Chain A
């Protein structure tokens, strides 16, 4: 049975664990989006080797388990590059590398949903390239990609639990610590699960609200 006073006593630690979970997920997602934009540019490049790099990267990420990717970043990358990575940095990097492949695909699909007439109108108006990108295409792309981007982010929050294996003290690792100290696994993991659920549910509500507003603005 759940021991309410035990949960109450350990709750601050769960909150800080949840903070780390959110932090690494947000940072990984943001960096992943930047890498995804780079991948998108590579994939649409006129140079075949650039397209090839993007394709290999994407199939590597999709074709290997996230856990293995994390271990590669944490153990193999420092050896290869001669730099030491803290678990936290390695964690953020691996989430970023992983999500980049999926975000690139989301952005690509979002771009194809913008009618060609929009690009043609922009050309006919002799708009400079940066105006086309930032004032015409990007706002429409954002509208197209909000729902899949939020769902990718929620995937990432869940995936971040695996970072516990490289000793990042996020929510899941916190629950493991609390369990070994209190010998109450039910309290620890039910609390962690509840917090995960609240975070993800909140994001899905925000996403629905955004989608709803966009639909109205688009009418």
Chain B
């Protein structure tokens, strides 16, 4: 490529993003730039467009207007480019979405072997390394259904990490979990953040946001209402809407 910018490109650069579901205007003029290594927490009321926003970044949803650039590469309809961008992005879902008919190890090995063309032994080594990193190496040969929710979610994190992504997306990764299990997943995510992973995380775990977020993004009705470092965001929000939301969250 001859048009390499001199400075490091943003990990994710979103400008003028709009999305409709039929007539419903789900995302409105979203503007967001995420630097490499930056940790973003996205919060907001139900239906505000948090999932839609992060799902546009890896093309689980197609945006209608504006542009999304990942690691300097703009998301278009081109299938090869979508594939390339998806390989740079790991995603963790609320309901884990592990493949139930494969062991945890096989879940983790599938993408490295087929999308990254690693040999089986190399993929297995990689998978075991990441299962160790999320502290469930002993679960490798079990099926997802035999694991607790927290273990399944950590397995899902390991599976995403096995693609060696540069960016991780989390869509409410702990909201399907029992309260006493949430911490083990959050701890795994905190370790990941401390290792310098670029993260966009939809969550209402405000303790987590305070601890690791560089910026908190608050969304409402498809718009980004406020963006601030967690210190300011929690103690001194500028918008009334944000204040109201935080008060309801703490009820």
Contact = CB atoms under 8 A, between A and B. Distances in A.
Contacts of A218: 100-101, 143, 145
Nearest to A214: B101
A99 to B, nearest CB: 26
B60 A136 contact: no
B58 A127 contact: no
A208 interface: no
B93 interface: yes
B97 interface: yes
A63 interface: no
Interface of A: 115, 117-118, 120-121, 123-128, 131, 135-136, 139-140, 143, 217-219
18 contacts: A117-B95, A117-B97, A120-B60, A120-B97, A121-B93, A123-B58, A123-B86, A124-B60, A126-B111, A126-B163, A127-B115, A128-B115, A131-B114, A135-B110, A136-B110, A218-B100, A218-B143, A219-B145
Given A126-B163, A127-B111, 5 more contacts: A121-B97, A124-B86, A124-B89, A131-B110, A140-B99
B63 interface: no
B101 A125 contact: no
Nearest to A116: B97
A118 B110 CA distance: 14
A139 B101 contact: yes
B83 interface: yes
A140 B100 contact: yes
A131 B110 CA distance: 9
Interface in B102-130: 110-111, 114-115
B33 interface: no
A127 B143 contact: no
Contacts of B58: 123-124
B239 interface: no
A140 B97 CA distance: 13
A143 B101 CA distance: 9
A122 B78 CA distance: 18
Contacts of A115: 95, 97
A30 B232 CA distance: 66
Contacts of A128: 114-115
Nearest to A140: B101
B175 to A, nearest CB: 14
A121 B143 CA distance: 17
Contacts of B173: none
A126 B115 contact: yes
A124 B100 contact: no
A136 B102 CA distance: 9
A218 B144 CA distance: 8
Contacts of A118: 97, 99
B99 A121 contact: yes
Contacts of B19: none
A125 B108 CA distance: 10
A143 B87 CA distance: 29
B101 A217 contact: yes
A115 B101 CA distance: 13
Contacts of B89: 124
A140 B101 CA distance: 7
Contacts of A123: 58-60, 86
Given A118-B97, A135-B110, A140-B100, A124 B90 contact: yes
B159 interface: yes
B146 A120 contact: no
Contacts of A135: 110, 114
Interface string B156-195: 0001100100000000000000000000000000000000
Contacts of A143: 101
A219 B60 contact: no
A35 B187 CA distance: 51
